């Protein structure tokens, strides 16, 4: 079984040996030296006072942390530099104290691993930087900040007074202890705003917890303020509409973005469902251990068919789904718990709801270092994912994925309706992410994908963007502004070259 453990840990990252950066595109889209570009014009937009409101993407979160370098490369900061060419004023951000990331609470780092330092690639997989954070969460920065991007914020958090008590990222930047994110934004009397990725965290925290409502440490993340359940679409609609109403009350123009299907992100697509290598002898031994379970399943459904309206065809389908069988192969599927299966424990307490995974199941990124480990060190009959089924927190079943999709679709109906009614620019990040996760998106001389490490778009946490990705995000927002307000950022050659921005930061970058 030692061979099993060595092969499954980080097996999903073998592809990174192909390189760190996104592939060069065959299409050379650079402009001709003789091309004369028109001057940049503002159209109907007034960029003199710009405020950005949102969550982690707005803040510049990357590699599982917030740190100075990616804050400086956040899409709002990049936009502010272009807006400055059209009369835009200064743009302030609540910068962290270092490029390590993470937070201290009265000098102590959280023991549960939350608010941790950034990840770097150690040649095998993403790993936490071996350095302690220096940003003190309890130190209130004071002043006014144009970038009100708060990692962990959900739609209904935006208007909560005193949200800084629950979320230290907002607590260190809030104008006063009882302020809300919306109040601090509105107080600046902005002429232009971006309201981005609202709704993402409303499904993301549920997804990264495997649909269990708790994080991978078994605790509720304080930043989620109310647990990790999917936000009710009616609550989202009320919160989103109220936020937009407040931001446009003084006549400000702005941009909103829809919510992508987050299950297309590398955090959910990198770990395979079938990474278990077994030789013939080991497979036979494991199958022998599961034989009583498989026989018990058949007996239980025979009883159910005889005593309930369930048909034999229905029973056979579930028996086939639940039968656990390994073979001499490098690609055996892991065993998982699935609460959607028919509960048989009343008939036999040993018949827990477990089955082998299929390609339709999605595994969260942290599962890569858990699958194949021994629950009892030195005991090969306690291998997680083989002898012991993986708990629900490691996997998103098709039913859980559908719940995420349905909520996302409902959120997007609201976003698109509100944007249309207020005359706001709308960015289709849902469509952009679909393209990035299938054929890739072309930006300058690069084709960016959602592949972990080598795709160029998604950072090492598998969810948030790289600095290169944030430059692409800034371009897409400028494209939407051009279409809605008559600016010409793209035609005047003012899009960012994503090649000027990194896809990763080294262990030594501080």
Q: What is the mean pLDDT of residues 445-465?
A: 96
Residues linked to residue 426 through DSSP beta bridges, in sequence order: 256
What single-letter DSSP state applies at residue 504? -
Q: How far is residue 188's CA from residue 410's CA, in Å, rounded to a whole number?
A: 31
Residue 23 has pLDDT above 60, yes or no: no
285: confidence class by pLDDT, cuts 50, 70, 90: very high
pLDDT for the residue 5: 42
Greater pLDDT, 483 or 222? 483
Q: How far is residue 135's CA from residue 109's CA, in Å, rounded to a whole number?
A: 10
Residue 24 has pLDDT above 80, yes or no: no
**Residue environment code for 446-464, b if the CB has 16+ CB neighbours within 10 A, otherwise e:** bbbbbbbbbbbbbbbbbbb
Residue 1 has pLDDT above 80, yes or no: no
Q: What is the mean pLDDT of residues 444-450?
A: 94
Q: What is the mean pLDDT of residues 464-488?
A: 98
pLDDT, tens digit, 9 for 90 and up, residues 209-260: 998 754 444 333 434 444 689 999 999 999 999 999 999 999 999 999 999 9
Q: What is the mean pLDDT of residues 460-484?
A: 98
pLDDT for the residue 381: 83
Set out the domains of the chain in order of their start, with CATH numbers: 41-270+399-500 (3.40.50.1110), 276-397 (no CATH)
Residue 27 has pLDDT above 80, yes or no: no
129: confidence class by pLDDT, cuts 50, 70, 90: very high
**Which segments within 41-114 are labelled E, that is strand?**
50-54, 104-105, 108-109
Which residue is it, tokens 């972990």?
A: 452
Question: For the chain, what percent of residues have pLDDT higher than 70?
Answer: 90
Q: Parallel, antiparallel, or unpaired for β 335-337 and 425-427?
A: unpaired
Backbone φ, ψ for residue 181 (5° rounding): -60, -45
Q: What is the mean pLDDT of residues 201-216?
A: 80
State the DSSP H helix or E strand holding residue 121, giving kind and residue range, or none if neither.
Answer: strand 119-121
Residue 140 has pLDDT above 60, yes or no: yes
Are 50 and 80 in contact by the 8 Å Cβ rule? The answer is yes
Are 228 and 206 in contact by the 8 Å Cβ rule? The answer is yes
Q: What is the mean pLDDT of residues 319-330?
A: 97
Q: What is the mean pLDDT of residues 57-69?
A: 98
Residue 11 has pLDDT above 70, yes or no: no
111: confidence class by pLDDT, cuts 50, 70, 90: confident
Backbone φ, ψ for residue 375 (5° rounding): -60, -35
pLDDT for the residue 213: 54
34: confidence class by pLDDT, cuts 50, 70, 90: low
Question: For the chain, what percent of residues have pLDDT higher than 90?
Answer: 86
pTM above 0.95, yes or no: no
Q: How far is residue 147's CA from residue 153's CA, in Å, rounded to a whole number?
A: 14
3-class DSSP assignment, residue 401: helix
């Amino acid at each position: 079984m030692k061979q099993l453990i060595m092969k499954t840990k980080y097996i999903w990252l073998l592809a990174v040996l192909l390189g760190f950066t996104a592939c060069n595109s065959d299409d050379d889209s650079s402009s001709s030296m003789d091309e004369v570009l028109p001057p940049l014009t503002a159209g109907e937009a007034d960029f003199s006072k710009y405020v950005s409101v949102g969550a982690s993407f707005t803040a510049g979160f990357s590699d599982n942390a917030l740190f100075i370098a990616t804050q400086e490369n956040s899409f709002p900061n990049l936009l502010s530099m272009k807006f400055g060419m059209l009369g835009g004023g200064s743009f302030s951000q609540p910068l962290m104290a270092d490029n390590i990331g993470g937070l201290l609470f009265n000098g102590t780092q959280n023991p549960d691993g939350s608010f941790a330092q950034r990840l770097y690639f150690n040649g095998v997989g993403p790993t936490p930087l071996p350095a302690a954070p220096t940003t003190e969460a309890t130190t209130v920065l004071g002043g006014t900040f144009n970038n009100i991007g708060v990692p962990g914020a959900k739609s209904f958090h935006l208007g909560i007074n005193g949200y800084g008590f629950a979320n230290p990222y907002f607590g260190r930047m809030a104008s006063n202890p009882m302020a809300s994110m919306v109040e601090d934004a509105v107080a600046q009397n902005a002429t232009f705003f971006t309201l981005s990725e609202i709704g993402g965290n409303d499904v993301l925290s549920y997804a990264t917890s495997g649909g269990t409502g708790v994080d991978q440490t078994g605790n509720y993340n304080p930043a989620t303020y109310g647990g990790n359940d999917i936000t009710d679409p009616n609550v989202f609609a009320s919160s989103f509409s109220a936020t937009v109403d407040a931001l446009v009350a003084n006549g400000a123009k702005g941009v909103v973005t829809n919510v992508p299907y987050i299950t297309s992100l590398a955090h959910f697509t990198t770990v395979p469902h079938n990474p278990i290598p077994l030789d013939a002898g080991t497979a036979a031994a494991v199958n022998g251990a599961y034989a009583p379970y498989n026989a018990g399943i058949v007996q239980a459904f025979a009883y159910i068919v005889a005593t309930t309206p369930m048909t034999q065809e229905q029973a056979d389908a579930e028996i086939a789904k639940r039968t656990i069988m390994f073979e001499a192969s490098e690609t055996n599927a892991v065993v998982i718990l699935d609460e959607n299966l028919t509960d048989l424990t009343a008939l036999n307490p040993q018949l827990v709801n477990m089955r082998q995974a299929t390609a339709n199941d999605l595994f969260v990124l942290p599962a890569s270092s858990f699958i194949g480990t021994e629950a009892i060190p030195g005991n090969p009959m306690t291998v997680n994912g083989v002898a012991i089924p993986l708990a629900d927190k490691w996997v998103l079943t098709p039913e859980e994925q559908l719940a995420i999709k349905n909520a996302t679709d409902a959120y997007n109906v609201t976003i698109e309706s509100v944007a249309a009614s207020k005359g706001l620019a709308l960015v289709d990040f849902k469509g952009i992410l679909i393209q990035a996760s299938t054929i890739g998106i072309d930006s300058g001389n690069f084709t960016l994908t959602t592949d972990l490490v080598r795709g160029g778009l998604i950072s090492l946490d598998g969810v948030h963007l790289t600095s290169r990705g944030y430059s692409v995000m800034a371009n897409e927002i400028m494209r939407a502004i051009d279409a809605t307000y008559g600016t010409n950022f793209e035609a005047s050659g003012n899009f960012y070259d994503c090649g000027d921005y990194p896809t990763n930061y080294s262990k030594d970058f501080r």
